[in-house]
Amino acid sequence: MIKPSDGNGKIGIFDSGLGGLVIARAIFKLMPQYDFVYLGDTKNLPYGNRPKKEVYNFTRKAVEYLFKQDCRLVVLACNTASALALRRIQREFLPKYYPDRRVLGVVIPTLEQADKKHSSEVIGVLATEATVDSHIYKKELVKIDPRAKIFEVAAPKLVTLIEQNSLQKAENSLKSYLKPLLSKNIEALILGCTHYPLLSSEIKKLAGNNVRVVSQTNFIPDKLKDYLSRHPEIRTKLSRRGKREFLITSYNKNFNAVAKRLFGKKLYFEEIVVSYET
């Protein structure tokens, strides 16, 4: 187990593909002084149609890889990984192997943001199949606001289309995915996948002015900053050189265009090998 020296640790950001770059960009903007490592498991995307055991195995190995790159803290920017793997990683994997490291997810902060008015809102969730099948948003919302209602719809095509840079086809699928949620007269709509903010303009147009669109790029950076302010035992271990590393597990010719669209500029990816053997 690698233990970086004081002030020499990094923050890891993990996603099943490149969608997490949207959140990464927002985090970098708010906290430019820290060193970050982004890892996209592009070899195994999308996670949304995979069984829970596979998602856990992929996520655990990715987290371990990031720890070995001196990351003290890893943010699971992937909603599916947050839904299917985070709790087990926090309860079993970290205490046994990395008790001084931390792994954070995006589901709970997203629900807190969606229900911040605590007015028993009707909330819609647009997410991957795996996230919807887990009902993680519905289960956790009950703990935050028992009176609120939540409706979930899976959008299985969107991640693949976005990763292939086929945004027009993705936009064409949105109307059918949003229709059942809008029929419930939702007041807030959670974009339950890091890829979806790329379509936020079209989503807002289809949802209308009466629906508050909850995009994780708008609050996850603040949540992370707040977490570090409350946990000096992690914050003081982090290096502040403003360095960025972008890692992927498999290269695709479309990635440069996708990354530029997601991140706003060209990125340089390093293709790495993650062993998924248990």
Mind listing the pLDDT tens digit for each residue in 28-78? 999 999 999 999 999 998 898 899 999 999 999 999 999 999 999 999 999
CA 191/CA 219 separation, integer angstroms: 12
Q: How far is CA 197 from CA 85, 150, 192, 251, 261, in A?
A: 23, 20, 9, 23, 11
Domain spans of the chain, in order of start: 10-106+219-271, 108-216
CB 199 within 8 A of CB 167: yes
pLDDT exceeds cutoff 90 at 118: no
CA 152/CA 166 separation, integer angstroms: 24
Of 116, 40, 21, 35, the closest CA to residue 81 belongs to 40
Structural fold of domain 108-216: Rossmann fold (3.40.50)
Give pTM, 2 decimals: 0.91
Same fold, 10-106+219-271 and 108-216: yes
Dihedral sign from CA coordinates of 221, 46, 192, 149: negative
Mind listing the pLDDT tens digit for each residue in 181-231? 999 999 999 999 988 988 889 999 999 999 999 999 999 999 999 999 999
Name the residues annotated as catalytic: 78, 193
Domain 10-106+219-271 grouped into CATH 3.40.50.2300: no
Token code pair at residue 258 = 């996708």
From the number of C-beta atoms within 10 Å of its C-beta (0-12, 13-18, 19+), residue 225 rates as middle
